[in-house]
Structure 1
Amino acid sequence: MAARSCTIPGNPDIAGVGVRIAIYVQTLLCFFPAFWALFDGKVSQGELDAAENQATTNLVLAFAILISSIVQAQTLGLTNYHASIVLNMSWLNNTNAFIYFLLYIQHKSQAGVRGRVAPTWRAWVQHIRELAVSVVHPGTAKAHPTSAGSDPELGHTDGVASIRNGVERTQLKDIDDIQGNEDYARTGAKLLVKRFVLLLGSLHLSLMASLGLWLWSNIRTFGEGQDTANDCAAKHALLAILGRHVPFASEALRIVSLAIYAIFLVPGVNLLLPIVVFLGFYHLHQVVPIPKVAGSERTPDSYIRRSRFWFWIRRASNTIVQRWAILPPCIGLLFLLAINLVFIIDIELALKQNAGLQSKDESEWGFGQILAMLLLFMPLRDLAETVLARRMKQRQKDLDMGLIGAINSKDRSMVLTWIARGANPKAKLEGDISPMHIACHFDDLDVIRTLLEAGADPNVKDGHRRDTYMVDSDNTNCLRLLNRVEKGSIGLKSDILSVMYWRTDTPV
């Protein structure tokens, strides 16, 4: 009965069921495209951009809730009890930045990515240091090339210095210095725009930490004009921590909260702890030996067939082995998902436990709750765009694989058919291999000509470097045809006759 002697004023715009549902749904929705991106074993640039768009949308909404709460605490008044709910929901909202950063680590650590960064402590410390130098002092970024080679994020490109030597390099040195300084002066701004979600996430963490330090410095004097409600919450309210009820005025809870929010106060630095945790998953992944595929020669088939249970165990084991490379980000996503579920359960347990302290207007549907539900359309739209884009990507991949099959079979009519259906003659396969690579490998001049007429790039490349020497050593005729196309003479009648003569493989 003592607990009912005082009342905490309701605040449906913060603790209302509509606001809570909107935040819970948009937080859990961000995991769906993340797991989907990892399903095929790698994170493409398009999937990373889609995750960035969704995370940016959710973080903008999170900023609105956090800023409005701080303004309300300084003007109209916000109780310490509702401030604690805002902090818990802010942790949920910031999950978007953590998910994006986890996908970013996986993308940068993949083979074949420009500026690849190995998933090791030393490599990422070096990469983060170079990113910081590029943002804070762009002029020095040029003096610290990344060990991974070309990195478009830092403004580094391969092959530029290799085409200049002797007199050319001396004559262009001054021009390069001037142009280089201008380019690197823009590198910092480009990085902030390119990885805007990381900037938003870091600033959101700092703003959340500021509110947390303000609240837990003294929960009784928090805000303006709410001393009575704050005192009521401090005496009678209970918070849920990992499912257990803890008094709001607990001194141990206050000390731990101050320490946690102090860690996340400084922008940029507050991302170091998630980095350490995520890289820890990669470190464990490198230490643990790669398991073998179940059902090998040492496993009798009769043992596997004894029950369906062992069949599904073997199938699940083989799936894990085949996707062993994406195990660290999957563990990271499951770790974040578990933390989010804990926060959601703790928020609901605290609201249920303290229902007797709150006024009845907590459940009223006002402008804030309706607006929160309507804004849920934005992350749903981003999710729908991600699903549609992935379906289109899969269709394009199927068309490109059909084109590769036609090139392998040296069937010019099928090559034309697949191109007419929408296959991309400039497609890049695993290892950065293009259809032109394969056509040159098979010495099929008809297919090469068809690809060139369809718009294929005549500059045959291996990775991110020109590799005409490989074409020259394998097939001089293919190289000649590519050079003619590059000069714009493929449409001439003499070019057709040259192709006929080249089939005889006459020496150059």
Structure 2
Amino acid sequence: MSSSSPANVTCPASPVPDFCNTIVTNPDISGIGIRVAIYVQTLINMVVASWLHENEKAFRDTSRNSFTISGGLIISSLITWKTRGLSLFDALIVSMLTTISTAFVSVNFPYIRTLGLSINVASLVFTAFWCYWGLQIWSSPSTFGLPPDIANCSANKDTKFVAFVTVSPLNPGLRGFALFIFAIGVIPALGSLRYSIVWLLRYWRTGSEIAKDNAAYRFAKEMRRKRKTHITRFGGLTGLIYMIVTTEVMIARNVSTKEALSKWSYGQFIAMAMLGQQILDSFLYLKQLVNEKHRRLAQHR
């Protein structure tokens, strides 16, 4: 009776992305599910905060969610870039998506700074990562994401950026403008750091509830003096629409990426699940508004 030794079975190696000559895309970073989740979440935040402008909790929670999700996308991109590699195209899409997500929040930053420690810390963390990410991309867009040991790569030259017109991300004028925008982002980051420290001291001295009540009173008094509302309803809507259209046009112009980014992946389903939670929270806030109006009508009868 003869015995045979088991054959050695080797799993096929995963294909190595060609970051040198191909515009590589990562669906977990810039796929259709990620983009839709951020677009819808941003619009929901804008609608809820604009309709429920008297509901401090609704504005604080939706704004904090924007900072958290956008910051998480940047951190995920940083980890992917350092471990598995990330193309210039994906990096640019991430910077645009995270800018979209915080458009409305940024317009209302003066109100945000009165809402307590947690939202100011979230603003600080997001803004710091946003500035770092943008400066990393635009400091050297010609070599970002390319293999350091291979010469004459064409992927970054072939990438198309859209800013009203199609332009190469290697354009010196575009690069200088982008570096300027991300550099001045350090100013609101320092502002968030300052207010985080101030809120920490207030919490330590008087407790969180008293500190927030005092800040809200002072801010409301200042707004009455200037005859302004404390929140800009639908602020940044024009910029938001422009950024969404620009992002989708940019994906369409980079033809080789369009099909890959239309496929669904595990990370995109997670993003959509988080969006579902956001929709549920928004529904509860709106339900509270309707119940409050019914209660007031009942009192006046």
Q: Which residue of 2 aligns with 1:25?
A: 40
For 2:190, give the aligned amino acid: G
Aligned in 2, Cα 1:29/1:60: closer, same or farther, shift over 3 Å?
same
Q: Which residue of 2 aligns with 1:245?
A: 166
Q: Which residue of 1 aligns with 2:94?
A: 86
- The CA distance in 1 between the partners of 2:234 and 2:104, in whole Å, is 14
Aligned in 2, Cα 1:337/1:31: closer, same or farther, shift over 3 Å?
same
Q: Deviations over 1:249-282 (max 9, x none)?
A: 100111111111111135233799xxxxxxxxx9
For 2:64, give the aligned amino acid: T
**DSSP 3-state at the match of 2:255:** coil
Counterparts in 2 of 1:312-391, with a 5 A limit?
Answer: 326=229, 329=231, 332-356=232-256, 358=257, 360-391=259-290
| Superposition deviation, residue 336 in structure 1 | 0.7
- The CA distance in 2 between the partners of 1:99 and 1:226, in whole Å, is 40
The reply to whether residue 257 of structure 1 matches residue 145 of structure 2 is: no
Query: Which residue among 184, 204, 213 is the counterpart of 2:126?
Result: 204
Q: If the length of structure 1 is used for normalisation, what is the TM-score? A: 0.45
**DSSP 3-state at the match of 1:268:** helix
Q: Which residue of 2 aligns with 1:97?
A: 105
- Does the aligned pair in 1 maintain the 2:64–2:119 contact within 8 Å? yes
Counterparts in 2 of 1:298-313, with a 5 A limit?
Answer: none
User: Aligned-residue CA RMSD in angstroms?
Assistant: 3.3
- The CA distance in 2 between the partners of 1:229 and 1:260, in whole Å, is 30
Query: Which residue among 143, 147, 161 is the counterpart of 1:221?
Result: 143
Q: If the length of structure 2 is used for normalisation, what is the TM-score? A: 0.74
Aligned in 2, Cα 1:270/1:50: closer, same or farther, shift over 3 Å?
closer
Aligned in 2, Cα 1:247/1:25: closer, same or farther, shift over 3 Å?
same
Aligned in 2, Cα 1:395/1:333: closer, same or farther, shift over 3 Å?
closer
**DSSP 3-state at the match of 1:9:** coil
- Does the aligned pair in 1 maintain the 2:70–2:98 contact within 8 Å? yes
- The CA distance in 2 between the partners of 1:270 and 1:61, in whole Å, is 18
Counterparts in 2 of 1:47-446, with a 5 A limit?
Answer: 47-95=55-103, 97-98=105-106, 101=109, 104=111, 194-223=116-145, 225=147, 231-241=153-163, 243-265=164-186, 267-269=189-191, 326=229, 329=231, 332-356=232-256, 358=257, 360-402=259-301
| Superposition deviation, residue 228 in structure 1 | 6.8
| Superposition deviation, residue 396 in structure 1 | 2.8
For 2:44, give the aligned amino acid: L
Aligned in 2, Cα 1:95/1:229: closer, same or farther, shift over 3 Å?
farther
Aligned in 2, Cα 1:227/1:7: closer, same or farther, shift over 3 Å?
farther
What is the identity percentage for the equivalent residue pairs of Structure 1 and Structure 2? 25
> Which runs of 5 or more residues in structure 2 are unaligned?
1-19, 195-221
| Superposition deviation, residue 360 in structure 1 | 4.7
| Superposition deviation, residue 226 in structure 1 | 7.5
For 1:204, give the aligned amino acid: F
Aligned in 2, Cα 1:271/1:228: closer, same or farther, shift over 3 Å?
farther
**DSSP 3-state at the match of 1:376:** helix
- Does the aligned pair in 1 maintain the 2:96–2:243 contact within 8 Å? yes
Aligned residues: 254
- The CA distance in 2 between the partners of 1:229 and 1:21, in whole Å, is 36
Aligned in 2, Cα 1:62/1:339: closer, same or farther, shift over 3 Å?
same
| Superposition deviation, residue 68 in structure 1 | 0.5
- The CA distance in 1 between the partners of 2:182 and 2:284, in whole Å, is 35
Aligned in 2, Cα 1:33/1:7: closer, same or farther, shift over 3 Å?
same
For 2:144, give the aligned amino acid: F
- Does the aligned pair in 1 maintain the 2:49–2:62 contact within 8 Å? no
- The CA distance in 2 between the partners of 1:52 and 1:349, in whole Å, is 32
Aligned in 2, Cα 1:231/1:346: closer, same or farther, shift over 3 Å?
farther
Q: Which residue of 2 aligns with 1:35?
A: 50
Aligned in 2, Cα 1:350/1:87: closer, same or farther, shift over 3 Å?
same
- Does the aligned pair in 1 maintain the 2:71–2:130 contact within 8 Å? no
Which structure has more relative contact order (CA 8 Å, sep 6+)? It is 2
| Superposition deviation, residue 349 in structure 1 | 0.8
For 1:245, give the aligned amino acid: T
> Which runs of 5 or more residues in structure 1 are unaligned?
106-127, 129-152, 154-190, 273-281, 287-323, 403-508
Q: Deviations over 1:446-500 (max 9, x none)?
A: xxxxxxxxxxxxxxxxxxxxxxxxxxxxxxxxxxxxxxxxxxxxxxxxxxxxxxx
